[in-house]
Amino acid sequence: MRLLVAVLVAALGGYIALSHEVLWVRVYSFATEGAPEAFGSLLAAYLAGLAGGSLLAGRYCRSAAAERSGQLYRAGWVIVAGALAAFLVAPAVAHLVGRGVDPASTLPVFALASTCLGAGFPLLCHFAIPADELAGARLSYVYVGNIAGSTLGSLVTGLVLLDVLPLRELNVALAIAGAALGVMLMLSASRTARSRVLGGALLAAAIGSFVGSARALYGDLYEKLLYAEEYREHGRFADVIERREGVVTVSRSGTVYGGGSYEGIASVSPLPDKDENRVLRAYLVSAFHPEPREILMIGLGSGSWLQVLANDPDVEHLTVVEINPGFIEAARRAPVVASALDNPKVELLIDDGRRYLGRTSRRFDVIVENTIVYWRSYASMLLSREMMELSRRRLKPGGALYYNTTMSTAAQKTGATVFPYAVRYQNMLIASDDPITIDHARFERKLDAWHIDGRPVLPAGSRAAQLDLLKEQDWRGGPTWEGRESILQRTQGDPIITDDNMATEWWAFDTYP
């Protein structure tokens, strides 16, 4: 085999292997709802498989015959087997999770497939490079090709292809590329017409099997990963939006999930019997701030909070910073909230919320952060002391930070420590540099007059004062309201979240209802 061909084979092999890792991280992270240990665990399984494949290949090379063309032919078969194994990983993991297997117990599946991927490169190096005085130089060129391909796999697949192709089609494309690579290696080592015909037939069969089976294997993949044993009861998703930033799925009932974790329901009714998403918390802004003219919302979620706040007559400008445009696509397809995206008050920005706060010089009356569940990856970047201090600097006099602690005691303590005034309402914390007053009369008056899409949010004849919406007990029977001193007293033994300790993600004693 010519050196250039070996370099190209190594480069394409590296591209395919790293692309599979990118896709597997997505699958495993979705199955674990974005748990902070997901990436590290998957990477460990992937690297263990590569190491195991290299070890097995090394043992084979020590005992194999020195005849190079025949060995390269066998190496081609190994690469084809790796393509097949990698193609089956995501459906296999989804099948196991759908049978009730814990996602962590599926890590050997990733390791086994990466074992096949890891065996091809050592075999290529051993049998494609002659054992002469230039072996070291040639090996370095092949390594450079592999590293370049691996780098491109992360960049092109992770940043470009994931934005234009769904997981199923990417896996089909990678499987075909892997099979073609293996067959190409086999053909380069073949000396007979029969072997070449066999290789061509193998490639055609592989392409046919990958394309033909993809719909059946990948059709309900995300449903199995999310619902586990209950996926048949819930049925197929009404919508699946795959972007490089993540996967947004919408159930038939309208529930929105981001990366496998609950994000909300497209609903704007504050009535207890209809408020599945507890969107009443969005209406509460009118109770603690008299004139919220400028609002910053970090994270769109289902879009329900945006629809509520955009229809507050006192709001003049509402800036929404959302890192995943998939949520915007999902909101546009939800009739309950779609009109909010075209509201002239609303400015939509695709950006990281924390980065935006660090760059902008604007100040706001209210900053709303309806954050992800506190234990998910990167949640601490939204709940840390440093984030609280950054948000504090972006508030106008009398302004308030209103964020979801998801009942994390550490998140509540952090906010109550950074700000001199704080009030907890359910799982939300209202924090400010100025005294916080909950004006029930103003809340009820505004709610009586609140309209969305030309329709009142309260049914005809109903008055907010009669509904007693801001109750003293929450849906679990616990106290709805709590002051700063009580929060600090209750959370004495809890840590303050910082960027360094990432306490919400790694502190085992935090609480979640």
pLDDT, tens only, 206-264: 999 999 999 999 999 999 999 999 999 999 999 999 999 999 999 999 999 999 999 99
Q: pLDDT at position 82, please?
A: 94
Q: Which of 91, 102, 231 is nearest to 167 (CA)?
A: 91
Structure tokens at 90: 């995501």
Residue the block writes with tokens 């072997």: 195
pLDDT interval class at 513 (50, 70, 90): very low
CB 334 within 8 A of CB 297: no
DSSP H or E segment with residue 219: none
Q: pLDDT at position 65, please?
A: 64
Indicate if the pLDDT at residue 509 is higher than 70. Answer: no
User: What is the share, in percent, of the chain residues with pLDDT greater than 90?
Assistant: 76
Q: How far apart are CA 496 and CA 385, in angstroms?
A: 7
Structure tokens at 397: 């006099």
Q: What is the mean pLDDT of residues 399-428?
A: 96
* pLDDT digits 0-9 by tens, 101-141: 999 999 999 999 999 999 988 888 887 788 788 888 989 99
- How many Cβ atoms are within 10 Å of 414's Cβ, its own excluded? 29
Strands (E), 191-270: 239-243, 246-250, 255-258, 261-265
User: What is the share, in percent, of the chain residues with pLDDT greater than 70?
Assistant: 96
- How many Cβ atoms are within 10 Å of 191's Cβ, its own excluded? 10
Q: Please, what's the b/e burial string for 60-79 (b: 16 or more CB within 10 A of its CB; e: otherwise)?
A: beeeeeeebeebbbebbbbb
Q: Give the residue with greater pLDDT, 225 vs 510.
A: 225
Give the lowest-confidence range in 71-75, 330-334, 375-379, 482-486.
71-75
CB 318 within 8 A of CB 362: no
DSSP H or E segment with residue 88: helix 68-98
Indicate if the pLDDT at residue 510 is higher than 70. Answer: no
Q: How far apart are CA 32 and CA 104, in angstroms?
A: 8
pLDDT interval class at 4 (50, 70, 90): confident
Q: Which amino acid is at 474?
A: D
Is the C-alpha dihedral spanning 158, 163, 165, 166 positive or negative? positive
DSSP H or E segment with residue 365: strand 364-369
Mean pLDDT of the chain: 92
Give the lowest-confidence range in 223-227, 423-427, 466-470.
466-470
DSSP H or E segment with residue 321: strand 317-322
Q: Which amino acid is at 265?
A: I
Indicate if the pLDDT at residue 392 is higher than 60. Answer: yes
Distances (CA, A) of 150 to 16, 19, 22, 115, 156: 8, 8, 11, 16, 10
Q: pLDDT at position 230, please?
A: 94
- Answer yes or no: pTM beyond 0.85: yes
- How many Cβ atoms are within 10 Å of 459's Cβ, its own excluded? 9
- In this structure, what DSSP letter does residue 352 have? -
Q: pLDDT at position 68, please?
A: 62
Residues with Cβ < 8 Å from 349, sequence gap 6 or more? Answer: 319, 320, 321, 322, 356
- In this structure, what DSSP letter does residue 316 have? -
Q: What is the mean pLDDT of residues 78-100?
A: 96
Indicate if the pLDDT at residue 66 is higher than 70. Answer: no
Q: Which amino acid is at 128?
A: A
Indicate if the pLDDT at residue 190 is higher than 90. Answer: no
Indicate if the pLDDT at residue 341 is higher than 70. Answer: yes
DSSP H or E segment with residue 355: helix 353-359
Q: pLDDT at position 77, please?
A: 87
Q: pLDDT at position 200, please?
A: 83
Structure tokens at 222: 């995300």
* pLDDT digits 0-9 by tens, 70-80: 677 788 889 99
Q: pLDDT at position 452, please?
A: 96
CB 277 within 8 A of CB 305: no
Q: pLDDT at position 301, please?
A: 93
Could you tell me how far CA 348 lies from the centroid of its own chain?
Answer: 20
Indicate if the pLDDT at residue 512 is higher than 60. Answer: no
Q: pLDDT at position 261, please?
A: 94
CB 248 within 8 A of CB 330: yes
* pLDDT digits 0-9 by tens, 279-317: 999 999 999 999 999 999 999 999 999 999 999 999 999
* Domains, the chain, ordered by start: 3-220 (1.20.1250), 227-263 (no CATH), 267-506 (3.40.50.150)
| Strand 246-250 to 239-243 pairing | antiparallel
Strands (E), 111-217: none
Distances (CA, A) of 282 to 356, 425, 439, 448: 22, 11, 15, 15
* pLDDT digits 0-9 by tens, 7-59: 999 999 999 999 999 999 999 999 999 999 999 999 999 999 999 999 999 88
Following DSSP, what letter does each residue of 94-128 receive, concatenated?
HHHHHTT--GGGGHHHHHHHHHHHHHHHHHHHHHH
Q: How far apart are CA 274 and CA 287, in angstroms?
A: 21
Indicate if the pLDDT at residue 465 is higher than 90. Answer: no
Q: pLDDT at position 192, please?
A: 74
CB 428 within 8 A of CB 403: yes
